[in-house]
Structure 1
């Protein structure tokens, strides 16, 4: 009788473990989330998204890209990927999309999520994708490089980058810009990860940095599952709940 009770208890525990694993997979929390920022900013802009994802049970890591060269940023991102114990949902914003496109071929990466981000093809760089803007398209207010680094015109930063961010925070972002290296801007993709990984793309329809038509072109070319959301280029800062929901949907739909 005692042996039978032990066997039943063991079976019950196994069923409970299987149910818990199934629940985690259904929610997507059997994946780790790695967040990659873009140019002119650092990883702190992900704080709102990070807080929501953590509350919902995800392992979350934020990469602090040096933004000096694409090669260096890919190395930093791959180090973050290799630190995970679960399959990785790799998320990139803006130039961070180029970083995840190059680093996302790592075997630990299960899927890519682009948040109004660049998704270059083989041989393309951010510089190439932005070199011939369509007539009437918004043009980022980048000032001439100094010592090999770029910055945005502080007076035009808010309107172009962070129009829907709280004014005090948007001004802080303008004044705390991180220099963006020309080697990062010109870094070309060798093997686009979106050709071998499922991808998602959130189009920010009020973006004044990456034209909406360019976002849609890149998403379509990558075969990404796409959603539109009204928001500025800094939508990940201004609307973290919407961005976190999009990332979680990608995680739950990735098998």
Structure 2
């Protein structure tokens, strides 16, 4: 399909507990509209590891990059978005931390009445969501079949990744990213 938008690569960064396959529907729509799309497969072992993988995805892009993050992916794009190819940041229900913040610090004291993710206690240093509550807390906006698949194919999220602190938020250090 022909498009009239400037050539840009859209780099999609997933959150914790899932992998890049969660972007399947978004990838299909963007690719059909003529965009180059790169789906990052973060290991979710540490913020540093995830930022390194995301930076490699940015480097592989053929042109300017729109960097998109979903939940924890927002932390990753906040740190990785300082790369010169990145022209925009998009946060989709994502964390947008400031300098020195981490997922742990952002979720430490939820407001009364705010739903808390059904995170199970760590096993060997890795977290997972309660499968019986996964759909409601994480995938309520997708088809039941997709949500069930996502719950059953969770990627364990290393506790260490939640502690990774943002050093210099891209949205602060590159004012052109902020509208």
> What TM-score, normalized by structure 1, do the two folds share?
0.67
Q: CA deviation at 1:164?
A: 2.8
What do residues 170-209 of structure 1 show as CA deviations (whole Å, max 9, x unaligned)? 112111100001111110000000111445xxxxxxxxxx
Is 2:22 the partner of 1:42? no
Q: 1:76 aligns with which of 35, 53, 68?
A: 53
Q: What runs of 5+ residues in structure 2 fail to find an aligned partner?
A: none
Paired residues in the alignment total 177
Moved runs in structure 1, 4+ residues, more than 6 A? none
Instruction: Please list, as runs of the form range in 1=range in 2, the aligned pairs for 1:168-187 lying within 5 A after superposition.
Output: 168-187=145-164
Instruction: Please list, as runs of the form range in 1=range in 2, the aligned pairs for 1:1-255 lying within 5 A after superposition.
Output: 24=4, 27=5, 29-195=6-172, 196-199=174-177
Q: Which has the higher strand share?
A: 1
What do residues 3-29 of structure 1 show as CA deviations (whole Å, max 9, x unaligned)? xxxxxxxxxxxxxxxxxxxx85xx2x3
What do residues 91-131 of structure 1 show as CA deviations (whole Å, max 9, x unaligned)? 00110000000000011111100011001100000110000
- Tell me the distance in 2 between the aligned counterparts of 1:186 and 1:53: 32
Q: What runs of 5+ residues in structure 1 fail to find an aligned partner?
A: 1-22, 200-223, 226-255
Larger radius of gyration: 1
Q: Which has the higher helix share?
A: 1
> What TM-score, normalized by structure 2, do the two folds share?
0.94
